[in-house]
Amino acid sequence: MADISRRKDDHLDLAARGDVGFRRTGTLLSDVVLLHDSLPELSLDEVDASVELFGKRLAAPVVIASMTGGSERARSINETLAGVAEELGLGFGLGSQRAMHRDPGAAGTFRVRDLAPRALVLGNLGGVQAAKLSTSEVAALVAAVGADALCVHLNPAQELVQPEGDRDFRGVLDALGRLARELPVPVVAKETGCGLGPSAGRRLRHVGVEHVDVSGAGGTSWVAVETERAAPGERALGEAFREWGIPTAASVAWMARLGFSTVIATGGVATGLDVARALALGATAAGIARPVLQALEAGGRDAALAFLAGVVRELRAAMLLVGARDVTELAATPRIVRGELARWLDAEAGGP
* pLDDT digit string, tens, across residues 41-59: 999 999 999 999 999 999 9
Q: How many helices (H) and strands (E) does the chain have?
A: 15, 12
Asked if 330 and 286 touch (Cβ cutoff 8 Å), the reply is no
Which 3 state secondary structure label does DSSP give 88? Answer: helix
What is the tens place of the pLDDT at every residue in 189-204? 999 999 999 999 999 9
Q: How far is CA 186 from CA 258, 261, 293, in A?
A: 18, 11, 26
What is the tens place of the pLDDT at every residue in 141-186? 999 999 999 999 999 999 999 988 889 999 999 999 999 999 999 9
Confidence of residue 349 (pLDDT cuts 50, 70, 90): low
pLDDT(273) > 80: yes
Which 3 state secondary structure label does DSSP give 80? Answer: helix
CATH level 3 topology of 2-349: TIM Barrel (3.20.20)
CA–CA dist 196, 188 (Å, integer): 12
Radius of gyration of the chain (CA): 19
Which 3 state secondary structure label does DSSP give 64? Answer: strand
Give pTM, 2 decimals: 0.95
